[in-house]
């Protein structure tokens, strides 16, 4: 009987601990995936040799360095809208490796810090942006998807330069 009572008590305590954190369940999931996206984006950026940052897959495409900066600037813009603050990055004219990686780190850190300051309720609260109602969650999801799209393009650039892209880690 004591074992059953102890088991019930442990279950109740673990449920109470989860209930206390439930205001951040979605936040914690987003932070985990944004950190994975940051790590993977930085790995893709580091995989390209310095002299490949000016490489264009076709004349109409952005260079590899422009792709990396585009990810950083778009992430910062999406996240600033979700946070309700000014974006920390503007268009970068320096598309070389060091600057692009610095911009990626800055943008991802900014976005992750913004998510960490929110609760699940904050993420799902309606907000108006450009005469359109959305949520911070949708803006973060849009940025995440946009980054994945351009990072995928960048992986093709790596292959065209004979570089094997890093493996994705979930």
- pLDDT digit string (tens) for 127-159? 987 788 999 999 999 999 999 999 999 999 999
Q: Is the pLDDT of residue 35 over 60?
A: yes
Record the tokens describing residue 6, joined without a space. 């102890």
What is the pLDDT confidence band of residue 169, given thresholds at 50, 70 and 90? confident
Quote the pLDDT of residue 152.
Answer: 96
Quote the pLDDT of residue 89.
Answer: 80
Distance CA 7, CA 164 (A): 51
- pLDDT digit string (tens) for 76-119? 999 999 999 988 887 888 999 999 999 999 999 999 999 999 99
Print the SS3 string covering 64-128.
HHHHHHHHHHHHHHHHHHHHCCCCCCCCCCCCCHHHHHHHHHHHHHHHHHHHHCCCHHHHHCEEE
- Report all structural domains of the chain as residue ranges with CATH numbers, in order of start: 32-53+61-160 (1.20.120.450)
């Amino acid at each position: 009987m004591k074992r059953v009572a102890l088991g019930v008590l442990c279950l109740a305590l673990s449920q109470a601990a989860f209930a206390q954190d439930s205001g951040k369940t979605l936040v914690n999931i987003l932070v985990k995936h944004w950190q994975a996206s940051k790590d993977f984006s930085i790995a893709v950026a580091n995989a390209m040799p310095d002299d490949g940052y000016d490489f264009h897959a076709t004349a109409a495409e952005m260079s590899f360095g422009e792709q990396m900066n585009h990810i950083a600037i778009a992430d910062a813009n999406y996240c600033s809208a979700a946070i309700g603050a000014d974006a920390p990055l503007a268009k970068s004219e320096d598309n070389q490796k060091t600057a692009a990686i610095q911009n990626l780190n800055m943008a991802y850190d900014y976005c992750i810090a913004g998510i960490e300051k929110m609760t699940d309720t904050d993420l799902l609260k309606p907000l108006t942006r450009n005469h359109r109602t959305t949520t911070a969650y949708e803006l973060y999801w849009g940025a995440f998807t946009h980054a994945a799209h351009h990072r995928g393009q960048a992986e093709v650039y790596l292959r065209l330069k004979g570089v094997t892209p890093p493996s994705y880690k979930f």
